[in-house]
Amino acid sequence: MTSLNIRTNFYKATSFLCTTALLTTLFICCIIEYIITNKLKWRKQPTLSNKENETKLLPNEKIHFISSKSKYNDERPNLSNSNTQVSGAATQGSSSSVRRSTNHDQAEDITHQSTENPYNSIYLAKDDSISKQISEPTYKLVADLKYYYQQYGLDIEKFRIITNDGYELDLWHVVGNSKNESSKNPVLFIHGLLQSSGSFASSGLNSLAYYVRQNLGRDVWLGNNRCGLIPGKRHAEGKKSDDLWDWDLNEMSKYDLPCLVDYVLKATGKGKLDLIGHSQGTMQSLQSLINYKKIDTNFDNCLLGKVENFVALAPAIYPGALIYDNVVLKILASIINSKVIMGTQAFIPLMMYIRNISVTFGSKSVFSMLSYLMFKFLFDWNDTLWDKNLKSRHFLFSPVFVSIKLMQFWLSENNDAVSFKNGKVADLYFPDNKVWFPINNKSDSTFTSERPFHVHEPQDLDVYPKMTLFVPKLDKLVDGNRLCNHFTQFEDKRLYQIYYIDDYSHLDVLWSMDVIEVIGKRIAQALS
């Protein structure tokens, strides 16, 4: 056994002990918090973060403000006395405990979060025709989308494809009884951190994947990044089959997404597709669209010319207040580079082992409940806007295996690291003060050439995809305001639309009960 193998096994052993202790502590803390806040009805007083106030949203005609309404034509109860001038009154239904006015002269408003879904009485009413229309055939917990979609008259084809650097990717294709002969572009979904693309489909009849397939008549593909629910093997010459973990978002942008895109285009015989990403999937997509020269010299791995429309749900380009203020994330960031504590391979693999054992042999409902409590404790999210009957199903398709290196990309505080948290990802790949998608003069650009370009030289307008951004106002995990300001100040207004949703947070763009009304129908407009 070589010294390298000895060190690797040593780190594997020490990290297993350390992360087991960490995970156990987190579970205990989240259960205690649940008992205190839900059973004893104690409400912790939220505090405003200085980081949250750093980026003010600049008014612009390209930003469309949405004060979300229920698909049942019931307005969400207003719990705040907002004096907002730009975005209108904040409404109840928050996945965050913080509300704030965008009027610079007014004090910040703070309200306690509600844990009761305002739609429950409507949705669960047996005589409600709309409730019946979207009622699921079953709420049985099965960790396989095929089980659910077969009950809708659809099916899920599963493919395992290989990237150019030898990693296995899971690709799921939503198909009907007859072959989809739509002349329109296929639609590829790409998921967020620690999730699979099951997150786009787990709401069943009320999911974005089902809506795009059935209501829009599109050919839907659900893409998953490397390792995922089942890591597979490394198919690369000179690499060991278990050498799976030396990668971060750059490799995912360089290999995974281009591999998924090329496979879908080849399978459908189309020249372009439409791409829908959530959170990490939005950065991965923009990385491939903007920074291919920085991460790869092979133009074939660039998505330009292959994507006609790009939809970004809760785009994760700049860090939000939660990254800096959350105690657990602070602790995790401080130890993420420690090989002794965190190891050198998968990020807390015990989470995935527990998940796989639970969905195969154990209680799926207990696992899903604990997963939800963990997410709620870590990110201050709640299920206020979700269908309670589907909450457990959502968490059957996460977490997934990811590398320690990927988590370092997001959380590392080291000065020599290029990470999301320390701001160097933004500086290197997504600078605020440069044009990412420059348009040449003959395309009648709306901005002058005096603005500095980032990577691309000026191109014709139709070279770039049309972009639609859905930015949740209550999402403190990422800084959506900063991204909005960049687009409105530096990018050609013909390239994008921005929807700013007052009462949504990071996961509500996937699982809110009114997601079709708020997001789905606007996606339909964007893809038309």
Tens of pLDDT along the chain (528 residues) come to: 677 788 888 999 999 999 999 999 998 988 888 888 776 766 655 444 444 447 999 999 999 999 855 443 343 333 233 333 333 333 333 333 333 333 333 333 323 333 344 434 334 433 343 434 457 888 899 999 999 999 999 999 999 999 999 999 999 999 987 665 678 999 999 999 999 999 999 999 999 999 999 999 999 999 999 999 998 888 877 776 557 899 999 999 999 999 999 999 999 999 999 999 999 999 999 999 999 888 776 666 689 999 999 999 999 999 999 999 999 999 999 999 999 999 999 999 999 999 988 888 878 888 888 888 888 888 877 789 999 999 999 999 999 999 999 999 999 999 999 999 999 999 999 999 999 999 987 655 555 557 899 988 899 999 999 999 999 999 999 999 999 999 999 999 999 999 999 999 999 999 999 999 999 999 999 998
508 counts as catalytic: no
Q: Up-side HSE of residue 514: CA atoms within 13 Å toward CB?
A: 24
Q: What backbone phi and psi angles, to 5 degrees, belong to 48? A: -80, 135
Could you count the other beta carbons within 10 Å of the beta carbon of residue 517? Answer: 17
Strand bridging mode 168-175 / 155-162? antiparallel
Q: What is the C-alpha separation between 515 and 504, in angstroms, rounded?
A: 10
For the chain, the structural domain boundaries read 3-527
Q: Which of 170, 296, 475, 479 is catalytic?
A: 475
Q: Which of 506, 508, 512, 514 is catalytic?
A: 506
The pLDDT score that the predictor gives to residue 467 is 98
Q: Taking each helix axis from N to C terminus, what angle separates 364-379 and 3-34, rounded to the nearest 10 degrees? A: 90
Tokens of 512: 């809110």
Q: What is the C-alpha separation between 471 and 314, in angstroms, rounded?
A: 5
Q: Which of 279, 285, 358, 398 is catalytic?
A: 279
Question: Which of 88, 369, 141, 409 minimizes the C-alpha distance to 280?
Answer: 409
Strand bridging mode 187-190 / 155-162? unpaired
506 counts as catalytic: yes
- CATH superfamily for domain 3-527: Alpha/Beta hydrolase fold, catalytic domain (3.40.50.1820)
Is the pTM higher than 0.95? The answer reads no
Element (H, E) at 170: strand 168-175
The pLDDT score that the predictor gives to residue 261 is 98
What residues pair up with 480 in beta bridges, in sequence order? none
Strand bridging mode 273-278 / 187-190? parallel
The pLDDT score that the predictor gives to residue 70 is 43
* Concatenated DSSP letters of 82-135: ---SSS----S--SSSB-----TTSPPPB-PPP-S-TTHHHHT-TT-HHHHHH-
Could you count the other beta carbons within 10 Å of the beta carbon of residue 47? Answer: 10
The pLDDT score that the predictor gives to residue 49 is 42
Q: What is the C-alpha separation between 437 and 495, in angstroms, rounded?
A: 9
